[in-house]
Structure 1
């Protein structure tokens, strides 16, 4: 009876996890959608990108630090000089280059356009890893072919979004709730050219790609992910503060009031750095590194709709076609990447099993020899 109850509890836990995992990833995408829209509004009201970065990462560090105290309380809390160096480099690429350039690109373009580049991050990361020979592209197998096909389609979709507008589609929304507010408070800095914004977004993709590669090295040097994230946020906040002061020493730019800018800082730090990090870590542990990226298309589609409905961004045929191509290419790439990870895990498991069998055989041989020696001693 106890066995049946134990089996029932395990089955119920698996069912609950199968529901909770996709629900948590949908929630992460919802956090991302709201973050992009809030950040766009805050930047339109004149908030400086490095001000947003500095305050966001302070809040993010405060949100992650309790997790470090709970789950890694026995870990070494003070890094040495080498570890601090890798943490600082991690902050430079992950905060200053990846997030900072994205904010500049978002300020010069719009939410719909910028979210396309967020979905290119896995593609760009893989390309950089292939160029650095940290990853191989096996075109002789189907997974490698699908990855290559996905890369080509994503690049083509991005070019369509960037270079081809096409016919402007009829906007079905009767009103735009946030457009009057953003138009009234916008500054001339909002109206950067699309070319400059595109370059910033491309630079952001490169920053994210190198950031993911650097995190692999950081995990080997300092294998405490919560403490590493907390210290990376603090280092990134300090770097953003120094760069922001050098670019714009005006003290009024750093003053936060009880308004949209403060809401954006608190929301991004707590939900996008704290809660989203925890949910994604859990999903990666249970389903692997590809799983969170499978839900990225939800953010793309929802951002297009909300950007048009709330901010009144015009929709063009080229944007819709390019976005669909990016989604198609992303899923083709993720399918190939997932199959390669499965094959690598199967090969590693087979190698471990063969090694265990060889150790068992060697152990039996050694045991047999020892037994023969003992018998010889007894006869003598």
Structure 2
């Protein structure tokens, strides 16, 4: 029983990352069948709202602070950053590229959050300290990896379950033609913009939780306001094309329902694990999502793996771990008597706050 208790956090986070990876594959399949990424976000938020709101109403009915106009306005603002802008940018980027490309780029999130925290003076920086130097170096390394993924392609990696195994690259010319449509530069920029939106959300939510500490109720309200804002954006972008709102295919319906369920369960899992093992523990499992997406994408979406993009992905992950290492040293120095840091630190929060609807990063 003791072994099972120790293994639960590992199993929970692994299951969460696997759920994220499956969602990326399902979402990409749905968009390949003509589903609008903007409509997908609106529907997904609706399902997440239905799932989370009842628990918030019941479990926090006695502890929920009074809602004021100022707090509601702040909720509207942060829900615009996440899930609306973040997820719309992420899924649109996925249309231009592939699931494994966008998922790999999303690993740059801790570095982006660190950069914004420095800009807003929420991060203490003493360049003479090794941990601060590590965070700067990790940020530069992660950005370099993202740039390499965008500019460097390389040879196709043969996989045993694909036709290109044993050097058979008969379909490489077709892939090259397809790459003209999959504009990696636009996809990378959209994904990076999504990471910045997510980071803004993390920082603003950190501030909001101090004045409105009912975390479950806050999540439910972000989901509801995000649903309304996402629906408005979808109607505006798609110019009233009601046919795009049809869920006639099983894949589209599955993407909507599964995405909403993943959102609710992932938020609970991350909060539960963070209280027991700390936020850095959760972030350490992010690359698992990228690996699973790469494997599933090659199986179900016929996506190819390239040497250059694999190298870029590895560099991003190395940069991410350098940043997280530096942040972990911050916690040890500032709170030597505590095992874990409080959730209200910006970089630590990036490990615990998901896109209230899971990405895909993607999250």
User: Shorter-normalised TM-score: what interval?
Assistant: 0.7 to 0.9
Q: Does 1:82 align with 2:70?
A: yes
Contact preservation (8 Å) 1:77, 1:227 = no
User: 2:302 aligns to what?
Assistant: 312
1:250 aligns with 2:241: yes
Matched with 1:369 is: none
Kindly state the Cα deviation for residue 191 of structure 1 after the two structures are TM-superposed. 3.6
Deviations 1:131-190 (A, max 9, x none): 1111023332222222222222211211111111122222432369xxxxxxxxxxx9x9
Question: Is the Cα–Cα contact under 8 Å of residues 139 and 323 in structure 2 kept in the other structure?
Answer: yes
| The one of 241, 244, 260 aligned to 1:269 | 260
For 2:154 and 2:183, locate their aligned partners in 1 and report how far apart those are by CA, in whole Å. 19
Which residue in 1 is equivalent to 2:285? 295
Task: Summarize the Cα distance change of 1:270–1:348 in structure 2 as closer, same or farther, 3 Å threshold.
Answer: closer
Equivalent positions of 1:190-201 (< 5 A) are 191-201=181-191
User: Matched residues in 2 for 1:310 and 1:118: separation?
Assistant: 21
The separation in 1 between residues aligned to 2:312 and 2:161, in whole angstroms, is 22
Cα deviation, 1:281-311, whole Å, max 9, x if unaligned, reads 0111122222211101111122122212221
CA distance in 1, matches of 2:92, 2:249: 24
Deviation at 1:321, TM superposition (A): 0.8
Q: Look up the SS of the partner of 1:47 in the other structure.
A: coil
Aligned pairs, how many?
A: 324
For the residues of structure 2 that align with 1:131 and 1:211, how far apart are their CA atoms?
A: 15
CA–CA distance in structure 2, aligned partners of residues 121 and 301 of structure 1: 17
CA displacement 1:330-368 (0-9 Å, x = unmatched) = 11221111121122122789xxxxxxxxxxxxxxxxxxx
Normalized per residue, the structure richer in helix is 1
3-state DSSP of counterpart to 2:279: coil
The two structures have a TM-score, normalised by structure 1, of 0.80
Alpha-carbon distance in structure 2 between the residues aligned to 1:24 and 1:228: 23
Q: Is the 8 A contact 1:108 1:191 kept in 2?
A: yes
Report the equivalent of 1:325: 315
Q: Residue 120 of structure 1 aligns to a residue in which SS? A: helix
Residue matched to 2:11: 23
CA–CA distance in structure 1, aligned partners of residues 89 and 249 of structure 2:
26
Please report how far the alpha carbon of residue 240 of structure 1 lies from its aligned counterpart in structure 2 after TM superposition: 1.1
Task: For residue 119 of structure 1, report the CA deviation from its aligned partner.
Answer: 1.0
Conservation of the 8 A alpha-carbon contact between 1:53 and 1:100: yes
Moved more, 258-267 or 136-145: 136-145
Inter-partner Cα distance in structure 2 for 1:66 and 1:278: 14
Determine the structure 2 residue equivalent to 1:39: 27
Name the counterpart of 2:136: 148
Contact 1:124–1:205 under 8 Å retained in 2: yes
Aligned with residue 104 of structure 1, among 92, 95, 103: 92
Alpha-carbon spacing, 1:301–1:138, altered in 2? closer, same or farther (3 Å): farther
Aligned-pair CA distance for 1:49: 1.4
Structure 1: unaligned runs, 5 residues or longer: 1-11, 177-187, 350-380
| Aligned equivalent of 2:172 | none
How far apart are the structure 2 equivalents of 1:343 and 1:70?
39
**In the TM superposition, what whole-angstrom CA distance separates every residue of 1:51-78 from its partner, at most 9, and x where no partner exists?**
1111101111112123313431213376
The answer to which of 192-201 and 259-268 deviates more is 192-201
How far does the alpha carbon of each residue in 1:258-291 deviate from its partner, in whole angstroms, 9 at most, with x for none?
A: 51011001101012x1111101001111222222
C-alpha displacement at 1:192, in angstroms?
Answer: 4.9
Matched, 1:137 2:137: no
Deviation at 1:255, TM superposition (A): 1.9
